[in-house]
Structures are given as C-alpha cells and as structure tokens.
Amino acid sequence: MKFLIALLVLFHIRHSYGVNVVYSNNRPNKDLSSNIESSEHLYSNTWAVHLEGGERKAREIAEKNGFNFVRIFSSFEDHYLFEHKDVENRRNRRSIEHHSRLEREPTVRWAEQQKILKRTKRGFQDFTDPLFAEQWYLKNRGITSCKETKGINVVPVWEKGITGKGVVVTILDDGLEHSHADLVGNYEPGASYDFNGGDPDPFPTYTSDNINKHGTRCAGEVAGAINNGLCGVGVAYNSRVGGVRMLDGDVTDAVEGASLSLNPQKIDIYSSSWGPDDDGKTVDGPGHLAYEAFTKGTTKGRDGKGSIFVWATGNGGKNHDYCSCDGYINSIYTVSIGAVDDCGKSPWYAEPCPGTMAVTYSSGVSGINKEIVTTDLHNKCTMKHTGTSAAAPLAAGIFALVLEANPELTWRDLQHLVVKTSKKISENDNMWQKNDAGLSVNPKFGFGVLDTAAMVEAAKSSDWKTADEQHICKSKVKKETKDIPAMGSVTSEIFTSGCFGQPSSVNQLEHVHAYITLKHPSRGGLSISLKSPSGITSPLLEKRILDTASVGFTDWPFLTVFNWGENPTGTWELTVKDSSGRGGVLVEWRLDVYGTFNSSLVKHVDENKMCIDECVKGCPHPFSEKCIGCKKYCDCEKGVCVSQCDSNLSADHERRHCRRALNTEIERNSDASARNGRATTSSATVKVRHSLLSISMPAKFAVIALSAAVLLALAGAIGYFLMGLPNTRNSGRAVDYQMVGAPGKYVVDLNISHEDPTHDVQ
C-alpha cells in the first residue's frame, strides 16, 4: 500500500509541477528551489545530465536526442551540460517532451532542465535616499560640470558587502547632532564626549546662524544611513560614528590632547577638519599634550596597531597659505587629505605642500562645480558642504571600509596603502614628479586621489604583509650661519648613509623631516626646497605674501613624503631663496629620515675593488656613498683604505673617511662644492689652503720663514705702538693675533686678555 501511495505522489509531482527529474539509486539532494511555484521561474534551453559511460557516451546520447553537447562539469564526475537548439531560451515552462527523451535513456541517472535563478548582489543597490542621485563622487559617474568624474570608486566595495561594520569613526569638531534621523542608528556614545562643556554628550549648541553645523555635516559623510528616505548615504554607512565637541569654546593644548586620546581602544579613526588659522601668516602646530596623544595613539591605540588620524590640509588658498606651516600636516602620524573638485582639479582654496598624502573630492567654484551632500542641523540635509573640511571625512569613511576588510592593518600599513593605490589625477599638471621608487608625487595632490576599491583589494590580498619596524635615522645638526642674499639664494648640504650598519638604519624611506632654523625680517618672502640624492625636489615652502613676521623659523619640522620608497643614502641639498629683497641668515638644519631597512635591497660590493677604484687622496666624494656597507675607512691623506683611522686623524663614520680633524668641516664644504660644480668664495679658500698643505718641503720652509718675518715685523710695530700709549699699566697683558679672511687678504684681529698670557696664530 505504501509503495502504491509513493507512485501516485511521484506521478502527481511529475505531471502537475513539471519537475523533470530522472531518479536513480543515487538520488540527488532535495532542490530547495522546487518549493517555489514553477510559474515564477524562467527556464533556459540547457540541461544538466548525470549519466554513466563517460564523455563518449554522453556525446552519443546528446546527438541521438537532438541535443548539443556543451561541456563537462570538471568538478562533478560523469556530469555534462546539454543544450537544445529548438527550445526557446528564457521560456516560462519546462520542455517536457525533450526531457522525456533523456529519461528514457537507461544510462541517464539524473537530468534537469536549468532554471534561470533570481539572485541579487548583497551590498550596494541604488539606494532610495532622495539625495543619493546627487552624490556624484560616490558612484564613478553622475552629472557634474565635467564630461567624466571617476569618483572614489566605492561601489565595488559595497557590492562585496563591505560597508564599515565593526569600525568606529569619531568626528573631532563643534559637536554632533546624534538625534538626526540619518545618524541616530549609527551613533556611538562610547566614542563621544563634550570637552567644551565637560560632559559625555557632544550635542551642538544651536544658534541663529547655525555656526555649529560643521561636525554634523562631517559625520553624515561617514555614516549616513541608507534607505531611510532622508538625505544621501555615508561612505561607510554601517560604521559607528561618535562626536567630540571641542571647537565650540576655548581650544587649548589640554582640550586637543584629551580629544585626540579619547578611548583609543574603542575608536579606530579620528577625523579632524580643523587646524591653525588659514590666514597665510600663521605658523603653528600641536602642543605637548596633542603630540603625546599622537605618539601614544599610534603605539597603543587599537590594541597596539595604532589609531588612524585623518587631517584636512586647510582652506587658505585665497590667502596664499601653504600647509607646511601647519604642524598637524607636518606630523608623520597624520594622514593629510587635500581636495579636488568634480573635474579633478585643485580648487582655489586648496593649500599645497609636500606633506599632503592624498586627495578626495569636494567643492570647487560655487555655482559651477558640484558640492558635497550630507546631513545638517535640525534633522535636515544639505548639498552645500565644501572645502577640505568635506574631503577629510570622505577619507575617514574610506579608511573605515579598509579596516573592515582587514582589521589587522597598522597605522603605517594604512599609509602604505594610500601611497600604493592612490590614482594620479590632473595628469597634465606640471608639478608631478616620479621618484626613484616609481611613485608619482605632487604638492597639490600628494600621491593622487583615493581609490576605495583598490585600497580594499590590496588590504585583502594574500600578498599583503604588515610594514616592517619603523626606523628613524637622524643626521647631525648642520650649523651654517650663512647669509641668505636679498633676491638671491643660499644652499647647504647634508650627507647621510641612512645610518647604515646601525640599529636605526634606513634604506627604504617613508617620511623625511627637515628641521630648519633661520632668521629673516619678512618670513613670507622665503621659499625653501629640499633636493634628495635621487634628484626629487620637495618644495618645503613657497612665498606667503601675507606673512610679514620677522621671527623666521626655529627648528621647524618641514615634512615631505615625496621620497617614499627611495634610499636616503647620499647628499641632500637645501636651498633657501629670498624674494623680499631683504635677505636673512640660515642658522642651522638637520634631517630625520623615517622608514625601514630591507636587507634584500643592500648591494653587496667588492670592498677591495672599491678601495682601489673609489678611495682617492683628498676624498672628492663620500667613500660610503660608493662603497655601501663597507667596513673600512678611506684615509683621505693617503688615498688608501684602512681598518681604523690613525690617532692623528678624525674618523667620519657617515662618510667612512679619515681626515685631519682641523680641516674636516672645511674639506666637506669643498667636497660638496666640487660635486655641484659651484665656484664659491669658501670653496676657493679651501682649495688654496689644500694647495698650501700639499706643496714641497722646501717651499713650506720658505713660507714659514716669510710668515715669521711678517709676524716679527707686525710684533715690532705693535710693540712700538704700545710703548707710545699713555697708560703703562698695559704692560704684561697678552696680545692674540688672528689672521682672518680670504687668501691674499688678511686682517689682524687684536684680542687683549688678562687671563691668558699666550698667543695663537691661525
């Protein structure tokens, strides 16, 4: 009886629902899609067939029954795909007739006409938010003032289901309207605080002019909700967003430090669209506590992986400001983000500098270029968010997606991803340079515009590995006291081996700091550039016509990222130029280079051969620049290599030179001048002194005798002069004579002293 009921059920299924299945002893698992009525499906003209006898038998059965043999399913043994050319593709009902022919074949164990299944990508769809269509910068397309806008390339990431889940971004600003319908679902109280009011609630103060709208606008760019019928969408619309109210009151170093160090194990990304005045005359940066927040955040935040600090480069373009005068941009711990308009051009308000890492999209000329869509105060929306203030939160949202894709990224890993994946923009701009590592750099755009999909792909790649330990190699301070000529320039050079052979050795650069001290009566009339051994020039400072301060710079840390990936070994040239007509003085400078040591990049050299080829008497160039990694020194007096310098010589460990200590610095200046082909007064002086040192012994005696005669004559004249003085109490005082000036032009400097009864002649 049970067998009869089973047959009746089988007959009903086959003829009422058209489930064309051929059963065998190896019946396939239940087809879950058969629970859906067949009228809801479209059917293709292909059949999946499982049969015995191999490919030859499959081809025979296909031809016999009017099918074309399409292919073998390599992953499934004895499974094949057939196609029937007489069956219309995408039809509403199954083809029972053709299916019946297959089921009558004794070797066919299972066959099924293929349904066209409805499948939807999880993640991005065209959202229903009313202003989503206006968010041109999100979709790689859209109506803009240009024919083509590439956008930040975020849609492919959304399509993979990466939307910012599990990542916390905090907006450091003037408050956050966390009750806003587009933000309330993503608001994170644990990542929020009011340092102006001293309580946990960062809600902004409402005023008639809505001046405290900034933080709420920035937050909507990051975490605006989807499909809620309000505004647009955030870049990381499933991330959590917090707010810190710290700009609506007195801002102190304590306020900044507390804001930047708030809950670093909870907050992943701190987004700051603020800084010193963009007035074209301010030079300012983080104080002690803010700096401590950066260092502790990057070493201890995110369970030791490091907090991410995103910083807007500034809107002082109309005031000819330059972001190298902003100490937050000059920090190695921040990811500095500039802006481009919807045409990919640098907008009028932008501040360039070689510390800029990348750009994202924002506004341009009002009424011509598009602007940014986001949330606004009083549960409203705006299409008028502008400036680098709007660019930085977009970057923060992008980084939230990247951290979701790979939560193990360190703060330096993220910077490496920015460098590696950013796309060149405005390619015809004449300020692009390609460095020795093959990276294109520009003070307006950094490494280019952020590409979300490229960053995520690189972060998820099996080739990804965390950055090697950061090393810092510090040069000695180059004390100069060189005049900066009015309407002219002065140069200075520092050689570095990248601290080769030391624990702090760097042969693959990341950041470079040039700490500069100079005096000038009108600071804004200066421009400063730094040229690396590879020839890449970083414009550390350009003229700021509104800056008339007479204080110059004191140990100011100018930053460049232009040499990322290069080897620092060699001579770095600093040039300071005056365009004010007033001149100044370069006092001193030094280099700090940051990066890693990659042993695979070390060139193994034949030290003995290098000693023969490169160790030359007088040392016209640094021996370590040619003999990389060599343990011997070049004796510059003899022109031969030695394992250690003689006791009467000074060892220069950076250059691997042995020189006379008295002449070391003079000869370094001579080397630098010779390498650059410059004929300066100082180099001429050195050459004369060097030639005097190298003349024959009889000539040296003649020179000494002549010098003695001159000195005796001078001593007699001075004694005669002193004897004629009315005050005889001067007798017994020592007189020091110093010969100073260029060769051939000597001046006598009298230094009368009570303490020292001796005299020296130099």
User: Of how many residues is the chain composed?
Assistant: 762
Q: What is the pLDDT of residue 627?
A: 82
- 115 vs 474, which has greater pLDDT? 474
Q: What is the pLDDT of residue 706?
A: 67
Q: What is the pLDDT of residue 145?
A: 64
* 412 shares its domain with 556: no
Q: What is the pLDDT of residue 8?
A: 47
CATH of the domain at 592: 2.60.120.260
Q: Which structural domain range is residue 50 located in?
A: 14-116
CATH of the domain at 226: 3.40.50.200
**What mean pLDDT comes out for the span 479-491?**
97
Q: How confident is the model at residue 122 (pLDDT cuts 50, 70, 90)?
A: low
Listed in sequence order, the residues at least 6 apart from 146 whose beta carbon sits closer than 8 Å to its beta carbon are 342, 343, 344
Of the candidates 259, 271, 336, 389, the residue annotated as catalytic is 389
* 328 shares its domain with 256: yes
Q: Rounded to an integer, what distance in angstroms lies between the CA atom of residue 519 and that of residue 541?
A: 15
* 90 shares its domain with 152: no
Question: Considering only 56-70, 112-126, 438-452, which range has the smallest mean pLDDT?
Answer: 112-126
Is residue 341 annotated as part of the catalytic site, yes or no? no
Is residue 19 one of the residues assigned to a domain?
yes
Residues 556-597: pLDDT tens digits?
A: 999 999 999 999 999 999 999 999 999 999 999 999 999 999
Domain end, chosen from 600, 619, 644, is at 600
Q: Which residue bears the tokens 């009566």?
A: 521
Residues 731-749: pLDDT tens digits?
A: 333 333 333 333 333 333 3
CB 144 within 8 Å of CB 342: yes
Reduced to 3 states, what is the DSSP secondary structure of residue 112?
A: strand
**What mean pLDDT comes out for the span 343-360?**
97
Count of domains forming the chain: 5
Is residue 566 one of the residues assigned to a domain?
yes
Nearest to 213 by CA among 397, 389, 350: 389
- 472 vs 75, which has greater pLDDT? 472
Is residue 547 annotated as part of the catalytic site, yes or no? no
State residue 731 phi and psi, 5-degree precision: -65, 140
- 269 vs 601, which has greater pLDDT? 269
Residues 160-202: pLDDT tens digits?
A: 999 999 999 999 999 999 999 999 999 999 999 999 999 999 9
* 455 shares its domain with 479: no
Is residue 258 one of the residues assigned to a domain?
yes
β-pair partners for 382 = 374
Q: Which of 29-43, 353-367, 711-725 has the highest mean pLDDT?
A: 353-367
Q: For the chain, count helices (H), then strands (E).
A: 15, 30
Is residue 272 one of the residues assigned to a domain?
yes
Question: Considering only 103-107, 519-523, 554-558, 604-608, which range has the smallest mean pLDDT?
Answer: 604-608
From its phi and psi, is residue 215 left (phi > 0), alpha (psi between -120 and 50) or beta?
alpha
Q: What is the pLDDT of residue 683?
A: 40
CB 551 within 8 Å of CB 533: no
CB 493 within 8 Å of CB 571: yes
CB 329 within 8 Å of CB 338: no
* 679 shares its domain with 706: no
Give me the amino acid identity at 191.
Answer: A
* 387 shares its domain with 513: no
Q: Which residue bears the tokens 């047959």?
A: 7
Of the candidates 84, 98, 180, 214, the residue annotated as catalytic is 214
Count of C-beta atoms within a 10 Å radius of residue 575? 16
With 0-12 CB in 10 A as exposed, 13-18 as middle and 19+ as buried, what is 301? buried
From its phi and psi, is residue 487 left (phi > 0), alpha (psi between -120 and 50) or beta?
left
Q: How many CA atoms lie within 13 A of 662 on its CB side?
A: 6
Element of type H or E holding 411: helix 411-421
β-pair partners for 492 = 574
pLDDT of 65 higher than 70: yes
Q: Which of 102-116, 292-306, 689-703 has the highest mean pLDDT?
A: 292-306
**What mean pLDDT comes out for the span 389-414?**
98
Is residue 375 one of the residues assigned to a domain?
yes
Is residue 564 one of the residues assigned to a domain?
yes
Q: How confident is the model at residue 407 (pLDDT cuts 50, 70, 90)?
A: very high
Q: What is the pLDDT of residue 125?
A: 63
Residues 604-635: pLDDT tens digits?
A: 778 888 898 889 988 988 888 778 778 899 99
Q: How confident is the model at residue 365 (pLDDT cuts 50, 70, 90)?
A: very high
Give me the amino acid identity at 533.
Answer: P
Give me the amino acid identity at 295.
Answer: T
* 219 shares its domain with 238: yes
Is residue 389 annotated as part of the catalytic site, yes or no? yes
Q: Rounded to an integer, what distance in angstroms lies between the CA atom of residue 637 and that of residue 8?
A: 109
* 664 shares its domain with 715: no
CATH of the domain at 50: 3.30.70.850
Domain end, chosen from 81, 116, 151, is at 116
pLDDT of 532 higher than 80: yes
Q: What is the pLDDT of residue 630?
A: 80
Q: Rounded to an integer, what distance in angstroms lies between the CA atom of residue 406 and that of residue 426?
A: 30
Q: How confident is the model at residue 20 (pLDDT cuts 50, 70, 90)?
A: very low
Is residue 690 one of the residues assigned to a domain?
no
- 489 vs 610, which has greater pLDDT? 489
From its phi and psi, is residue 166 left (phi > 0), alpha (psi between -120 and 50) or beta?
left
Q: What is the pLDDT of residue 140?
A: 64
* 674 shares its domain with 658: yes
The b/e string for 517-541 (b: 16+ C-beta within 10 A; e otherwise) is: bbbbebbbbbbbbbbbbbebebbbb
Domain end, chosen from 411, 430, 460, is at 460
Average pLDDT taken over every residue of the chain: 84
* 454 shares its domain with 522: no
Q: Rounded to an integer, what distance in angstroms lies between the CA atom of residue 479 and that of residue 484?
A: 14
Is residue 691 one of the residues assigned to a domain?
no
**Could you give the maximum distance between any two Cα atoms of the chain, in Å?**
149
Of the candidates 78, 129, 173, 248, the residue annotated as catalytic is 173
* 339 shares its domain with 408: yes
* 677 shares its domain with 711: no
Q: How many CA atoms lie within 13 A of 753 on its CB side?
A: 12
